[in-house]
Amino acid sequence: MTLLRCRGLRKTFGGHVVLDGLDLTVDEHRVVALIGASGSGKSTLLRCVNLLEELDDGTIELDGEDISDPRVDPDRVRRRIGMVFQSYNLFPHLSVLDNISLAPVRVHRRPRAEAQAQARELLDRVGLGTKADAYPDQLSGGQQQRVAIVRALANSPRLMLLDEITSALDPELVGEVLALVRELKDDGMTMVLATHEMGFAREVADQVCFLDGGRVVESGPPERVFGDPTEPRTRQFLRRIIAAGRL
Amino acid sequence: MILAPHEPSAAQRRREAYRRRQTVTSVLVAAASTAALGTLLVVAVTGAPGWDRVRRSFADPAIARDALPEVLAGLWLNVRLLFCCAAGALLLGLLVAILRTLRGPVFFPVRALAAGYTYTFRGLPLIIVLYVLTLGVPGLRLAGMPPVLVLGGLALVLTYGGYLAEVFRAGIESVHPSQLAAARSLGLSYRQTMRHVVLPQAVRRVAPPLLNDVVALQKDVGLVSLAGPIDAVRAAQIATAETFNYTPYIVAGALFVLLAIPLIAVTDWVTLRAARRQERG
């Protein structure tokens, strides 16, 4: 079943075209990896899907509902979508537990005790059970990013958007975050992830989309896109990635 | 983690000995220069030709003792006014700052009103606001007119609210947009985002400048005496007029400084804590 369908997305920032008629379809329980150079529109696409940016043209459907319709309440849409950012964006004034239970308590009106119990359960699952009362600045980058993922999961989202979630991490901390994403995939979570980790994209994604100039230039199973790309621009990009030792 | 016992090397021992000698030298130099400056000041002031006359008219212990009860009674008014006005101005400032951040066409008049308020009352001298409210407004002879003290307090709240609103607004704007994006992505509404994510961080960040304005307010609350109520400075003035001696002013000044010390200490402590947090984060 199709969960997310983007058609002809266009987004400009001050005369600079970032998305230029982009199409993307994501089926339920599938993991789609967006790859491409910086500025190719990966992050903008994710921010548009989460209605953090206003589209200049095109439509986005979530579960068959046109969420790019201005009459749609964006808060209601965002409750169904979890987003994780490159720089974690945890709330520095709240403990780990409060970071996670804030939305369940305030948005979903769940009793605080119940929300906190669920938060502790999720933290235990990702191996951070002892950090519930810590503050974000007392955690390593990898731990913060895992908390950010848990915070998004606490809303029980239908779709997870991961925006280069390992780019700000020290290399030795990347593994623990990717392991968590792998677990989410095994649980059947639908995910769209923008990433520079080609090895990870190859391993975890069901479908890889190469973005260039604000469009999906090439898309398909990872073996094909990485092993036998048909588009010259994809080949050029992959050659540079290999030259940089990232694949 | 328990540190394993470590035997410092000869080089490290030499370095430590050197640093100890340096510390002793620094303390001695500081003590000597303080003593020299202090002596110089005392000699210059007490050696001045008019020192005896000045001491009699500004530092007469008997007159200080006599004036103290009245000045203290006046100071009690300052303290009460300070607490009420500080609370009022902080609340008003926060409210106005929030109103200025509201988006959407419906809120245009509210935004304009809030902006107009901060422009007007930051520009208007406090004394003029005081005169208009304490002398002009009662002249309307409306029923249920509050006493002059309340009107004077209101003038202080209105004036300081304008400054505090801008401090709050600076704090709100200093919260990084990524925090808003994170909150909105969790489904929090704009109001919930302000209430639970933006304001707690903003207020923490601007606590030092807010408290600094409260210290300034402490000195200005005395201005309500222009409209009649007797505060510490006014009480000192009355005592001075009775004795033709300025000592009561010195008494009032000393009391003001004593009153300010805890507030300033709290401000410094909050500032230090905020700086530490910044360092860690």
Return the pLDDT at A86.
Answer: 92
Please, what is the angle between helix A112-125 and helix A141-153, to 10°?
A: 130
Residue B174 sits at the chain A interface (C-beta within 8 Å):
no
The DSSP bridge partners found for residue A83 are A161
Phi and psi at residue A81, in whole multiples of 5°? -125, 130
Return the pLDDT at B2.
Answer: 65
Q: Could you tell me which CATH class the domain A2-13+28-90+158-243 is placed in?
A: alpha beta
Residue A209 sits at the chain B interface (C-beta within 8 Å):
no
Does the residue B52 lie in any domain?
A: no
Q: Please report which confidence band the pLDDT of residue B264 belongs to, taking 50, 70 and 90 as the band edges.
A: confident
Residue B138, token pair as written in the block: 């009662």
Return the pLDDT at B278.
Answer: 60
Give the separation between CA A78 and CA A73, rounded to whole angstroms. Answer: 9
Does the residue B32 lie in any domain?
A: no
Return the pLDDT at B49.
Answer: 87
B244 dihedral zone (left: phi>0; alpha: psi -120 to 50; beta): left
Say whether pLDDT at A154 is over 90. yes
Residue B36, token pair as written in the block: 């020299």
Judging contacts by C-beta atoms under 8 Å, the chain A residues touching residue B207 are none
| Burial class of residue A15 in the structure, from the number of CB atoms within 10 Å of its CB (0-12 exposed, 13-18 middle, 19+ buried) | exposed
Say whether pLDDT at B279 is over 70. no
Neighbours of B29 (CB within 10 A): 10
- 3-class secondary-structure state, position A86: coil
Say whether pLDDT at B164 is over 90. yes
Return the pLDDT at B1.
Answer: 54
Does the residue B7 lie in any domain?
A: no
- 3-class secondary-structure state, position A216: strand
Does the residue B118 lie in any domain?
A: yes
Among the ranges given (A47-61, B104-118, B145-159, B223-237), the one the predictor scored with the smallest mean pLDDT: B223-237
- Full domain range(s) for residue B123: 60-280
Percent of chain B topping pLDDT 70: 97
In the stretch 157-186 of chain A, residues with CB closer than 8 A to chain B read none
Calculate how close chain A gets to B183, using CA atoms only, in Å.
Answer: 8
- Contact call for A78 and B178, based on CB within 8 A: no
The secondary structure of residue A39, as a DSSP letter, is T
Percent of chain A topping pLDDT 70: 99
Name which of A100, A137, A91 is nearest B181 in CA terms. A91
Calculate how close chain B gets to A137, using CA atoms only, in Å.
Answer: 5
B36 dihedral zone (left: phi>0; alpha: psi -120 to 50; beta): alpha
What domain count does chain B have? 1
A-B C-beta contacts closer than 8 Å? 62
Tokens 């008494």 sit on residue? B251
Please compute, for residue B55, the number of CA atoms within 13 A of its CA located in the half-sphere on the CB side.
8
Judging contacts by C-beta atoms under 8 Å, the chain B residues touching residue A92 are 201, 281
CA-nearest residue to A161 within chain B is B185
How do the residues of chain B divide into helix, strand and coil, expressed in percent and rounded to 5?
Answer: 85, 0, 15
Does the residue B22 lie in any domain?
A: no
Give the separation between CA B195 and CA B46, rounded to whole angstroms. Answer: 59
B248 dihedral zone (left: phi>0; alpha: psi -120 to 50; beta): alpha
Return the pLDDT at A56.
Answer: 94
Give the separation between CA A4 and CA A158, rounded to whole angstroms. Answer: 10
Please say whether the beta carbons of A83 and A50 come within 8 A. Answer: yes
Please, what is the angle between helix B61-101 and helix B247-280, to 10°?
A: 40
Mutate which of A78, A101, A138 to test chain B, going by most B C-beta atoms within 10 A? Answer: A78
Q: Please report which confidence band the pLDDT of residue A247 belongs to, taking 50, 70 and 90 as the band edges.
A: low
Does the residue B248 lie in any domain?
A: yes
Mutate which of B185, B193, B195, B205 to test chain A, going by most A C-beta atoms within 10 A? Answer: B185
What DSSP element (H or E) covers B132?
none
- Contact call for A83 and B204, based on CB within 8 A: no
CA B146 vs. chain centroid, Å, equals 27
Judging contacts by C-beta atoms under 8 Å, the chain A residues touching residue B280 are 137
Q: Which amino acid is at A159?
A: L
- Under 8 Å CB-to-CB from A213, ≥6 apart: which residues? A20, A40
- Contact call for A93 and B179, based on CB within 8 A: no
Of B179, B187, B281, the CB nearest to A78: B187
CATH code assigned at B180: 1.10.3720.10
Q: What is the mean pLDDT of residues B140-154?
A: 85
CA-nearest residue to A85 within chain B is B182
Does the residue B43 lie in any domain?
A: no
Neighbours of A158 (CB within 10 A): 16
- Contact call for A75 and B179, based on CB within 8 A: no
- Contact call for A76 and B187, based on CB within 8 A: yes
- Contact call for B189 and A50, based on CB within 8 A: no
CA-nearest residue to B192 within chain A is A106
Say whether pLDDT at A175 is over 90. no
Please say whether the beta carbons of A240 and A35 come within 8 A. Answer: no
- 3-class secondary-structure state, position A178: helix
| Burial class of residue B128 in the structure, from the number of CB atoms within 10 Å of its CB (0-12 exposed, 13-18 middle, 19+ buried) | exposed
Say whether pLDDT at B280 is over 60. no
The CA-based diameter of chain B, rounded to the nearest angstrom, is 87
Task: Give the angle subtended at the CA of B82 by the CAs of B78 and B88, to the nearest 5°.
Answer: 145
Give the separation between CA B68 and CA B235, rounded to whole angstroms. Answer: 9
Indicate the domain borders of chain A: 2-13+28-90+158-243
Tell me the pLDDT tens digit for each residue of B69-123: 888 888 998 899 999 999 999 999 999 999 998 888 899 999 999 999 999 999 9
Does the residue B37 lie in any domain?
A: no
Residue A96 sits at the chain B interface (C-beta within 8 Å):
no
Of B185, B186, B281, the CB nearest to A92: B281
Tell me the pLDDT tens digit for each residue of A88-116: 999 999 999 999 999 999 999 999 999 99
Judging contacts by C-beta atoms under 8 Å, the chain A residues touching residue B200 are 93
